Chain A
Amino acid sequence: MEKKNSILTNGLLFENPTFVQLLGMCPTLAVTTTLKNGLGMGLSATAVLIMSNILISLLRKIIPDKVRIAAYIVIIATFVTIVQMILEAYVPSLYASLGIFIPLIVVNCIILARAEAFASKNSVGKSALDGLGMGLGFTGALCIIALVREIIGQGTIWGIQVIGGPVQPAAIIGMPPGGFIVLGILIAVINFIVSKGKEGGNK
C-alpha cells in the first residue's frame, strides 16, 4: 500500500512534471491565462496520460523495442483525437479557447516521457496510478500558474471579479510575456522554499 501511495505523491510533489522536471512547457505557458483554461487543459492531459499509460503497459511485452516510440506516438495520438472529439461535442467553449493546444497534447513531452520511463516497465495498475499522479501534478501546477495570472492579469478568479475599484489589473501578466515571467518567479520561490527547508533540516 505504501508503495502505491509513493507512486501517486511522486507525480504530485517530488517529481512534479512542471515545477521539478520542467516538461510540457508549451501548454503550461500558453493556456494558463485563466483558471478555467488551465484546469481544462490539465484534466484533458490527465485523461490522455492515464489511458495511454494503461494501454502501453498492457502492450509492453508485445511492442517490439525498435519501433516502440512510433507505437507510443500512435497510441497517444489516438487518445488525443478521442479527447478532442469529446471536448468539441460537450464543452465547445473550452475547445475554442484551448484551440490548437488540444491536438498538441500529442507532443506533450510529459506523456511520452511517462510512457517510456514508467508504463513500458511496470504493471497496469501501477502505470494507471503513475498517470493519475503525474496528470494531477501537471493539473495542479497549471492551476497555480493560471490562478496567479488570472488574479494579476484580469483581477478575476474563475471569471468572478475579486480585485476592482481603483486597482487596475496588469494586463501584461495575462499576455505571453507574463507566462514566462510568472513561471520563472514561481520556480524561484519553490527553489527558495526547498533550500530553506533543507537548511532547517540540517540544523
Chain B
Amino acid sequence: MQPSIISLLIAALFTENFVLVKFLGCCPFLGVSKKLDTALGMGMAVTFVMAIASLFTWCANHFLLEPFGMEYLQTIVFILIIAGLVQFVEMFVKKSMPSLYNALGIYLPLITTNCAVLGVTLLNVQNNYDFIHSVLYGTFAALGFSLAIILFAGIRESISEKEVPQCFRGFPIALVTAGLMAIAFLGFSGFSI
C-alpha cells in the first residue's frame, strides 16, 4: 500500500519533520544555521541532492541489489552513490551556475555526510515505496529539512543580538531553541489527510 501524495507531503514537512522529529540531518541543522542566506543555500543544495539520490538509489536497489539478493550491501552502495552524486552535482553547478556555486561554497561537499540523505534512501527501502513515492518522499523530506533550517536560522539571527547568560552562549541556547521548535512541531502530530 502506497500512501497518498498529500499525506506524504504533510508527514515529511510537519508530523515527521526530518530534523525536529526524526533527528536526521542535525549536524548541518546546528552547524550551518547562523545566517539566513547560508541556511537557504544549504536547504536548496540538500533538496537537489536528496531528490536525485532517492531516484538513483531506488534504481540501484531495484535493478541491481534485489535481483541478485545482495540487499546487505545497501549501506555501502547507497553511500557510494551519494558521494558520487554530490561530486557530480558540484562539478555541474560549478560549470553551469557559477553564482549558485559561490553561494553554496563548502556546503556542497559536506552534503555527503548529511545523514538525512542516506537516511531518506534507507527509509525509502524500509517503507517499500515505489519509484514515484521514493522520489517524492526524498523531495518532500528535503523540503521539511529546508523549512526547519530556515526557520531556525531566522530565530538564531535574532538571538545573536540578545543578552544570553554566559554559559548558555553559542550551542546550548541554540539547542534549547531547537527543542522549543520541536515542541511546536509536536503540535502537528496526529494530523493527517
Contacts and interface: CB of A to CB of B under 8 A. Distances in A.
A192 B172 CA distance: 11
A107 B167 contact: no
A187 B172 CA distance: 6
Contacts of A107: 79, 112-115, 118
Contacts of A185: 172, 176
**On chain A, which size bracket covers the interface?**
35 or more
Interface string A58-78: 000000000001100110011
Contacts of B113: 107, 109, 112
A192 B165 CA distance: 10
B166 interface: yes
A176 B186 contact: yes
B75 A177 contact: no
A86 interface: no
B167 A81 contact: no
Interface stretch (B24-32, B34-42, B43-51, B135-143): B24-32
A5 interface: no
Contacts of B112: 69, 73, 107
Contacts of B126: 100
A106 to B, nearest CB: 5
B118 A104 contact: yes
Contacts of A192: 167
A73 B176 contact: no
B166 A180 contact: no
Contacts of A100: 119, 122-123, 126
A91 interface: no
B19 to A, nearest CB: 9
Interface stretch (A24-32, A35-43, A150-158, A162-170): A24-32
A199 B100 CA distance: 47
A108 to B, nearest CB: 8
B179 A184 contact: yes
Nearest to A192: B167
A85 B176 CA distance: 36
A172 B184 CA distance: 12
A176 B174 CA distance: 15
B168 interface: yes
B176 A104 contact: no
Interface of A: 22-26, 29-30, 69-70, 73-74, 77-78, 80-81, 84-85, 100, 103-104, 106-109, 112, 172, 175-181, 183-185, 187-189, 191-192, 195
Given A73-B79, A184-B172, A187-B175, 10 more contacts: A22-B171, A30-B24, A73-B80, A106-B79, A106-B118, A176-B21, A176-B186, A177-B179, A185-B176, A191-B172
